Structure 1
């Protein structure tokens, strides 16, 4: 079963003016990495934040998780993560998607599969058909006891991506 509804309480919490100002002045807004349903989407359920993001001319970058989360994103592909993000936040347009292409080693993968987690499939073509620029690379850490984004690899890719857009 997949998550069919998500909400926050209180429905309209106080939003600091500095948060709105930061969104309005941003050149890029980055979503993720993080738990889709407990970290990324909830911030955008706040109407003032969601509306500021929706109307911002900033490039919107979605960083897809490298592994699924049991009970939350079971069997989700990278496209599914983006699609659910758009469905629940009503932010329909993502400019850029960043997805991992590297599989963890078999011994590590088996441990994750035993806990109900699996690698997020990088279905790049499906994402590209949505007119989203996709950057698909090896983004996982070499310290492979935990499958996570490697901060250096991710930073380097973000610098490259942002650099491409800043030059235009």
Structure 2
């Protein structure tokens, strides 16, 4: 196997997604000698982020906040303050994360969420780049197999219908969205592109459905790696195998663009999951290695499982170890 050498510069790794999965990978990747760019979804319309984007015409701050903290070397006390969420009894401030309000304030001062995030990367000593996928808030649309449609990321899973496809539009005017500054360049210059882990239809695909981003992903020569979810999700990926996740990504971009899939093979212990807290998860994703290989994917299957607080997560260190092995090895599938 031909090993790649990066003597002159650090390899460039671009991670795309949103939700709780993205920060897990970024936190572990931050300790490695790579240049990181995080491209973060701006289609979130629930919770604190949703309320803020309704009050101020700005991209939702929640996923951006979590990514900034994951990539920052701030002392724990500072990040705890940034992540502090007001009590639900606090009426006006109920459930708002302080970091969301700070991002909103700087976005208003600077006239843009994008500029606010760039300023915060400096303030928070972020080693790498953080870009919203678009500079305007987006609305996610899901078209179901029965022809009906749901509008808004938080509404999509409610009826538990089978999703045919999703697309995004600008919140204002309903126009086709544009990619944020530097996003397309980062994808084209990347040595490795990492998708996920995260909700397939509501965290990963909203980024890919911005046509400039989708096109860049199809064209880039970067090794493209998909980190498959460990659990199926209610109203999104019910009864999905790992191959089904990849099929959906390929169908949306009409191209078999994923080179390598990381699959967890470790079993979640019976009765471990706290389904009251993690109510969107159903069962473990089943494996279909034949189906993955039929889509020209190399499969890396091993124990990526981390059990914490009654929930099921990817072990960031184990995932990053595999990513680096792929990064410094040969690109075996193209």
* Higher Rg: 2
2:162 corresponding residue in structure 1: 2
Q: Which has the higher strand share?
A: 2
Distance across 2 between alignment mates of 1:110 and 1:154: 24
**Match 1:64 to one of 220, 228, 232:** 228
Following TM superposition, by how much is the alpha carbon of 1:126 offset from its aligned partner in structure 2, in angstroms? 2.1
Q: Cα gap change, 1:29/1:116 in structure 2, threshold over 3 Å: closer, same or farther?
A: closer
2:313 corresponding residue in structure 1: 148
**Match 1:135 to one of 279, 286, 300:** 300
Q: Which has the higher helix share?
A: 1
Give 3-state SS (helix, strand or coil) of 1:6's partner. strand
Taking only aligned residues, the RMSD between alpha carbons, in angstroms, comes to 2.3
Q: Report runs of 4+ in structure 1 exceeding 3 Å deviation.
A: 109-116
Distance across 1 between alignment mates of 2:226 and 2:315: 16
Distance across 1 between alignment mates of 2:194 and 2:221: 13
* Number of residue-to-residue matches in the alignment: 167
User: So what's the TM-score if we normalise by structure 1?
Assistant: 0.89
1:157 corresponding residue in structure 2: 322
Bigger shift: residues 100-109 or 122-131: 122-131
The answer as to whether partners of 1:99 and 1:137 remain within 8 angstroms in 2 is yes
The gaps in structure 1 that reach 5 residues or longer are none
For residues 133-155 of structure 1, give each alpha carbon's deviation from its aligned partner in whole angstroms, at most 9, with x where no partner exists.
10001111043721110111111
Is residue 44 of structure 1 aligned with residue 44 of structure 2?
A: no
Following TM superposition, by how much is the alpha carbon of 1:21 offset from its aligned partner in structure 2, in angstroms? 0.8
The gaps in structure 2 that reach 5 residues or longer are 1-160
The answer as to whether partners of 2:178 and 2:210 remain within 8 angstroms in 1 is no
Q: Cα gap change, 1:24/1:75 in structure 2, threshold over 3 Å: closer, same or farther?
A: same
Distance across 1 between alignment mates of 2:220 and 2:214: 10
Question: What are the equivalent positions in structure 2 for 1:87-98 lying under 5 Å apart?
Answer: 87-98=251-262
User: So what's the TM-score if we normalise by structure 2?
Assistant: 0.46
